């Protein structure tokens, strides 16, 4: 498999050849996509230059990484235009980009050529602190350059029912995090509240909060218990703010209108995302069997549309795992057809006030799709441009999930010029 | 090869008395010129400018320029009449980190309840002395025919 991956990247058209076909696509965003696609390897010089007092090292994350290891390496990178690259350390034999340290700077290198100067993410001050209950705050709330991530629980009932999404490694990774670094299974609201209070002491560091977790299907109505957890957590977090609402994103299951109204009215939450993962009904059934059986593709979509009435246009989104629609044997055989289908669904959603963002699909070792091959750089460029063009044509904002508040969606990076 | 900022230009950049204007263009070539009192010398031969609004025309245009190339212009007019134009390119945007935080804190101390979207770093390519006598001397030397005859009539 490893040798195969290496061959795949080598046999492709080069970065410059691909970019030549997209002269209006920003080179830095294409570079981000390619780095995410291929991963990075830190040289010995780079590892030595990492200063744990200054740079943010990898913290608990809801999903795993492609090296399948938890090591004290840098969390991720920033490009010179402020673009975030969320990228995993990747074994050298998979032909990743290389991060080296030369003449006092971290640089991105490929094929021996120095391409870009990069910055490591700065470490937030609260990362060195403990909660009153004695837990490292970095295990409670993790940071991106401008956002706080609260991974409320890394357990998913779809997984437990053996109907987890096929690209997802949440439970494999949870077990590893719990066993190797003692990350708690479920967060206590008072620990989260305390950690966020500490994080907010650092001026100019954070612009929003993101909450997410696996799906909790339990309750009188499906997801009632999940909604209860989030309300409790958001109310605790809200005690840190003097305004009722605070810039925040919840990425959760597809809630019904009653549940959404409760979330909106009883907490400070300002935006809502529920991930369809793949914009095709048939593939949704294959790739996300739990979601498909318990809510269904059409049901999931309808709940997104209903959320717009509650949270407002531009404050509701769905995430897709870009490229997973080409997974075999049931996915699209041609990238062209995959793109057409995905964009037409995204357009349908945008017309109803729902924005679509994608993450670059990386087949992860802990997922059922570990042996799959992600599509080409060309595909990811077209997908980013297509989604952003749709957003712009419908006059939809993506403020809550843009380059700064999130940083993990190449399409919403492009919204900087919208 | 970046242009060098001489001590008098650095002094002009760092003076609170100087009128400082940043001119950028958008994707369609439409210009935007705004006064930017925050323009200052970055300490390493670059120019720093604070951007307070994420969606200002200047911020989008600087993003466009760092993505697609092109240049921007900074016009300085000192209290003593010294005038300089600096052409350059945005080479970096700080949206987090120590430099960003330092400016964020200082901006809020001096300007009140403001936010900060980013700190742009501009590398100068050309520094042009725009004092009228200098500009006119350059024009006269390069184009002696561009003159109304009455000016040289007996
Ligand atoms: S819903 Fe799917 S993607 Fe989300 S945590 Fe569960 S299995 Fe993973």
Domain ranges of chain B: 7-151
As beta bridge partners, residue A355 has A317
The hierarchical CATH code for the domain B7-151 is 2.30.110.10
Greatest distance between any 2 Cα atoms in chain A = 61
Q: Give the position of tokens 């951007």.
A: B51
Q: Return the best residue to mutate from A152, A159, A364 for the ligand 1 pocket (most ligand atoms within 8 A of CB).
A: A159
The hierarchical CATH code for the domain A125-417 is 3.20.20.70
Which residues, in sequence order, are CB contacts of A184 under 8 Å at separation 6+? A135, A139, A140, A178
Residue B55 CA to ligand 1 centre (angstroms) = 34
- Closest approach of B95 to chain A, Cα-based (Å): 6
Which chain B residues are Cβ-neighbours of A145 within 8 angstroms? Answer: 95-97
Q: How far apart are CA A370 and CA A363, in angstroms?
A: 5
B91 lies within 8 A of chain A by CB: yes
CA angle centred on A345, ends A340 and A347, rounded to 5°: 95
> Residue A93's pLDDT is what?
87
B57 lies within 8 A of chain A by CB: no
A202 lies within 8 A of chain B by CB: yes
Ligand 1 pocket list (CB less than 6 A): A 156, 158-159, 164-165, 168, 170, 214-215, 288
Q: How far apart are CA A48 and CA A115, in angstroms?
A: 21
Residue A165 CA to ligand 1 centre (angstroms) = 5
Between residues 39 and 78 of chain A, which touch chain B (CB distance below 8 Å)? Answer: 78
Residue A278 CA to ligand 1 centre (angstroms) = 12
- The mean pLDDT of B127-140, rounded to a whole number, is 96
Which chain A residues are Cβ-neighbours of B95 within 8 angstroms? Answer: 78, 82, 145-146, 404
Residue A304 CA to ligand 1 centre (angstroms) = 17
Instruction: Check: CB of residue B100 under 8 Å from CB of residue B115.
Output: no
Instruction: Check: CB of residue A274 under 8 Å from CB of residue A304.
Output: yes
> Residue A2's pLDDT is what?
45
Average pLDDT taken over every residue of chain B: 97
A26, A27, A82: residue with CB nearest B95? A82
B63, B97, B116: residue with CB nearest A81? B63
CB atoms within 10 A of CB A289: 17
Atom of ligand 1 nearest to the CA of A164: 7
Q: How far apart are CA A391 and CA B83, in angstroms?
A: 44
Q: How far apart are CA A242 and CA A9, in angstroms?
A: 51
Structure tokens at A192: 């989260």
* Short-list A379, A396, A282, A390, CA closest to A343: A390
* Short-list A157, A179, A216, A173, CA closest to A367: A173
> Residue A186's pLDDT is what?
81
> Residue A1's pLDDT is what?
44
Structural domain boundaries in chain A: 9-120, 125-417
A78, A204, A417: residue with CB nearest B63? A417
Instruction: Check: CB of residue A150 under 8 Å from CB of residue A141.
Output: yes
CB atoms within 10 A of CB B21: 15
Q: How far apart are CA A83 and CA A347, in angstroms?
A: 26
> Residue A59's pLDDT is what?
72
- Closest approach of A26 to chain B, Cα-based (Å): 5
A407 lies within 8 A of chain B by CB: no
- Closest approach of A416 to chain B, Cα-based (Å): 7
> Residue A174's pLDDT is what?
66
Strand order in the sheet with A113-120: A40-42, A97-102, A105-110, A113-120, A77-78, A84-85
pTM of the model: 0.94
Q: How far apart are CA A323 and CA A342, in angstroms?
A: 10
DSSP state for residue A186 in the 8-state scheme: B
Atom of ligand 1 nearest to the CA of A157: 6
B69 lies within 8 A of chain A by CB: no
Which ranges of A12-125 does DSSP label H, i.e. alpha helix?
15-20, 27-38, 44-49
Residue A158 CA to ligand 1 centre (angstroms) = 7
Atom of ligand 1 nearest to the CA of A213: 5
Instruction: Going from the first residue of chain A to its last (418 residues), give the mean pLDDT of each consecutive group of 10, the final group possibly shorter.
Output: 54 94 97 96 95 88 58 89 94 93 98 96 96 95 96 85 90 64 78 98 97 95 96 98 98 98 98 98 98 98 98 98 97 98 98 98 90 95 98 98 97 97
Half-sphere exposure of A163 (CA within 13 A, CB side): 17
- Closest approach of B102 to chain A, Cα-based (Å): 9
Residue A61 CA to ligand 1 centre (angstroms) = 14
Q: How far is CA B38 from CA A243, B58, B92, B96, B118, in A?
A: 30, 13, 16, 18, 12
Coil, strand or helix at A189 = helix
- Closest approach of B41 to chain A, Cα-based (Å): 19
Instruction: Check: CB of residue A164 under 8 Å from CB of residue A156.
Output: yes
Q: How far apart are CA A411 and CA A351, in angstroms?
A: 17
Which chain A residues are Cβ-neighbours of B44 within 8 angstroms? Answer: none
B96/A26 CB distance under 8 A: no
- Residue A242 class from Cβ within 10 Å (0-12 exposed, 13-18 middle, 19+ buried)? exposed
- The mean pLDDT of B81-101, rounded to a whole number, is 97
Whether the pLDDT of residue B127 is over 80: the answer is yes
> Residue A366's pLDDT is what?
84
């Amino acid at each position: 498999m490893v040798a195969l991956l290496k061959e795949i990247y080598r046999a492709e058209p080069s970065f410059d050849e691909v970019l030549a076909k997209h002269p209006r696509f920003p080179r830095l965003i294409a570079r981000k996509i390619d780095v995410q696609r291929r991963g990075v390897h830190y040289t010995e010089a780079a590892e030595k230059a990492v200063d744990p007092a200054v740079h943010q090292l990898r913290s608990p994350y809801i999903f795993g990484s492609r090296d399948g290891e938890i090591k004290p390496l840098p969390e991720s990178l920033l490009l010179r235009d402020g673009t975030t690259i969320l990228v995993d350390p990747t074994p050298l034999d998979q032909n990743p980009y290389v991060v080296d340290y030369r003449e006092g700077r971290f640089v991105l290198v490929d094929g021996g050529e120095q391409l870009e100067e990069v910055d490591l993410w700065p470490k937030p001050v609260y990362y060195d602190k403990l909660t009153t209950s004695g837990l490292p705050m970095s295990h409670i709330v993790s940071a991106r350059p401008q956002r706080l991530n609260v991974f409320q629980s890394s357990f998913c009932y779809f997984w437990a029912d053996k109907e987890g999404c096929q690209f997802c490694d949440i439970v494999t990774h949870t077990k590893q995090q719990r066993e190797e670094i003692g990350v708690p299974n479920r967060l206590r609201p008072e620990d989260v509240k305390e950690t966020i209070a500490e994080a907010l002491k650092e001026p100019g560091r954070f612009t929003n909060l993101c909450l997410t977790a696996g799906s909790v299907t339990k309750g009188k109505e499906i997801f009632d218990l999940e909604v209860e957890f989030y309300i409790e957590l958001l109310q605790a977090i809200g005690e840190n703010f003097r305004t009722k609402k605070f810039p925040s994103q919840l990425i959760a299951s597809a809630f019904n209108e009653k549940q959404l109204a409760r979330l909106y009215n009883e907490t400070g939450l300002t935006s809502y995302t529920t991930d369809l993962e793949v914009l095709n009904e048939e593939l949704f059934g294959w790739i996300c069997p739990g979601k498909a059986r318990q809510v269904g593709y059409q049901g999931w979509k309808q709940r997104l549309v209903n959320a717009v009435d509650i949270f407002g246009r531009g404050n509701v989104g769905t995430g897709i795992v870009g490229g997973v629609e080409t997974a075999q044997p049931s996915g699209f055989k041609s990238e062209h057809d995959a793109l057409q289908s995905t964009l037409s669904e995204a357009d349908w959603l945008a017309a109803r006030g729902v924005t679509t963002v994608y993450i670059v699909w990386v087949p992860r070792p802990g997922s059922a799709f570990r042996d799959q091959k992600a599509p080409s750089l060309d595909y990811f460029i077209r997908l980013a441009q297509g989604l952003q063009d749709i957003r712009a044509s419908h006059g939809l904002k993506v403020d809550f999930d843009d380059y700064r508040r999130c940083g993990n969606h190449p399409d919403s990076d492009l919204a900087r010029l919208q | 090869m970046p242009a060098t900022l001489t001590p008098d230009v650095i002094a002009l950049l760092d003076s609170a008395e100087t009128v400082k204007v940043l001119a950028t263009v958008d994707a369609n070539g439409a210009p935007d010129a705004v006064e930017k009192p925050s323009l200052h010398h970055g300490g390493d031969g670059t120019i720093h400018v604070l951007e307070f609004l994420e969606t200002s025309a200047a911020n989008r245009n600087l993003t466009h320029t760092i993505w697609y190339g092109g240049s921007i212009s900074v016009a300085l007019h000192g209290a003593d009449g010294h005038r300089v134009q600096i052409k350059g390119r945005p080479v970096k945007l700080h949206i987090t980190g120590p430099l960003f935080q330092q400016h964020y804190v200082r901006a809020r101390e001096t300007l009140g309840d403001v936010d900060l979207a980013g700190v742009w770093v501009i590398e100068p390519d050309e520094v042009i002395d725009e004092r009228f006598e200098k500009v006119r001397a350059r024009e006269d030397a390069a184009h002696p025919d561009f003159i109304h005859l009455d000016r040289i009539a007996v």
